[in-house]
Amino acid sequence: MGTEERKRREKEKRRELIIDAAEEVIRKKGFESMTMDDVAEETELSKGTLYLYFKNKSAIYLGLAERGSRLLNRRFAKVLTIDKPGLQLIRQMGEEYLDFVREQPIYFHAFIYYESIQDLEFLQSDPIAKRCEENARENHSYITRALQIGMQDGSIDDSYDAKQLAVMIWASSRGLVQVAYLKNSGHHSALLDDIELDIESMFKSFIHLLGEGMAKKE
């Protein structure tokens, strides 16, 4: 019977609804201020019920991170279908990343939360945590793929190791984007204003810089 399967799917649906609610709450009150009561109220479920779907509050945050990384991967996957030189794909991914964070800063916050988890035991046993890990790998592989394409079409210097380069691009972009995220919240704005630098153009400039760095020199 597919009855078990149906149950599983319904459970998954509920989980998604709870994460929806969490997003909504965070949007209203901020990430750290979200309480289980808030989520219960938003879902119109009882607090106890939440614990049937999520082991604890952390798991909800984790659920957000998982969803976020899934959505981001979807964007990256789509970029890979475009028929352009590898370097262009990398640039496109950068744009996607920036857009994603600006549109859905909650997920970015959730990523940071996920990364702050120390409990290794938990990270390796919890299924959602594992899915986050998988998504991170997938994400990494998309970037790697784009780099490999670039190395083949000659737009990217093939003396680099693609996988390593991917990590670097990912990590450094993350830094840039975090600044963008901060700027949105008014931080460092004085400094950034001084330089007459808007995020958009800075990010473009950075991608250009990276591009120069990894472009093939003849």
Query: Please, what is the minimum distance in Å from the beta carbon of residue 23 to a copy of itself?
Result: 18
| Binding partner at 48 among DNA, a copy of itself, none, C-beta below 5 to 8 Å by kind | DNA
State which residue, 48 or 186, has the beta carbon closest to DNA.
48
Task: By CB under 7 A, name the one of 16, 28, 35, 78 that touches DNA.
Answer: 35
44 vs 198: CA distance, rounded Å: 41
Q: Contact letters (x/-) for a copy of itself, 137-156, by CB under 8 A?
A: x--x----------------
Residue 179 touching DNA (CB under 7 A): no
Structural Rg of the chain based on CA atoms = 20
Q: DSSP letters along 59-76, please?
A: HHHHHHHHHHHHHHHHHH
Residues 56-75 that bind DNA (CB under 7 A): 56-58
Residue 140 touching DNA (CB under 7 A): no
215 vs 132: CA distance, rounded Å: 32
**Size of the chain, expressed as the number of residues it contains:** 218
| Binding partner at 191 among a copy of itself, DNA, none, C-beta below 5 to 8 Å by kind | a copy of itself
CA angle in degrees (0–180, nearest 5) for 181-162-84: 75
Residue 46 touching a copy of itself (CB under 8 A): no
Query: How many C-beta atoms surround the C-beta of residue 115 within 10 A?
Result: 11
37 vs 27: CA distance, rounded Å: 15
Query: How many C-beta atoms surround the C-beta of residue 30 within 10 A?
Result: 11
Binding residues for a copy of itself, rule: CB under 8 A, are 30, 115, 117-118, 120, 123, 133, 136-137, 140, 160-161, 163-165, 167-168, 171-179, 182, 185-188, 190-192, 194-195, 197, 202, 205-206, 209-214
